[in-house]
Structure 1
Amino acid sequence: MAKRNNENQSIEDVLKEFVSANNLQSGLDKVNVRDAWANLMGNGVNNYTTAIELKHQTLYVQLSSSVLREELSYGKEKIIAMLNEAIGNEVITKLVLR
């Protein structure tokens, strides 16, 4: 049974401890990346986005428009920087547009 801690802690600290103890950060990162993509890219890009998947610091984004895929490929580094800034952590190192 887990040892009870009698010190007062903030909910934020308790949740961070719980996430790290149970190795949940990678799952939370996947959800945060999807939310950040939707917020940063807007409705125009989201309408053509069919799938978003984060695997080993590589973000795979499937788009239904080849023209949009080509346009976004020119700004990959900027997109990666914006997404990492929105998440607040260096989660993405590579972006693959399909």
Structure 2
Amino acid sequence: MTKPISSIRRDWVAKTLAGLLLGLVLALAGSGLFVHFASGIGSSVRVQLAMWLVMPVWLGVLGGSYFFHSGARAWLWLGAAAILLVGALASVRLL
């Protein structure tokens, strides 16, 4: 008899942690870039939009992290995206 193939991969924990941790970094950095570049919107509206933007982006990244082939690839790609966004946020804040 052949052993049934499990449809659940073993690296779901790595994908979940990558989505949770790096997704939060991506969401916060994206929110910070939104606040910086949305200067045409009123201050209180801009801050509220930035605050409400964090959760959908974070959950989107968390959900999308399961589409990666492995947990290592999720960490690699999301980590590279997080480094780019945090670097962009740091560079626009310094200017």
TM-score above 0.5, yes or no: no
Select the structure that is richer in strand: 1
Select the structure that is richer in helix: 2
Give the TM-score normalised by structure 2: 0.29
The one of the two structures with greater contact order (alpha-carbon pairs below 8 A, sep at least 6) is 2
Give the TM-score normalised by structure 1: 0.29
